[in-house]
Structure 1
Amino acid sequence: MSATANKAKNFKKSKKGLYLSLGSTAFGAISVAKQAKLARSDGDTLRLIDAAVSAAAIVTGLAIIYRELKRLGDDDVLLG
Structure 2
Amino acid sequence: MSTALTKAKGFKKSKSGTYLSIATTAFGVIGVAKQAKKARLESDTLRLIDAAVSAAAIVTGLAILYRELKRLGDDDVLLG
TM-score, length basis structure 2: 0.86
- Runs of 4+ residues deviating >2 angstroms: none
Q: Does 1:7 align with 2:2?
A: no
Q: Does 1:53 align with 2:53?
A: yes
Task: List gaps (5 residues or longer) in structure 1.
Answer: none
Structure 1 residue 74, shift from structure 2 partner: 5.7
TM-score, length basis structure 1: 0.86
Q: Identify the structure with bigger relative contact order (alpha carbons < 8 Å, sequence gap 6+).
A: 2
1:8-51 Cα distance to aligned partner (Å, 9 max, x none): 11111011111111111111012101110110111111111110
> Once the two structures are aligned, what percentage of the paired residues are identical?
78
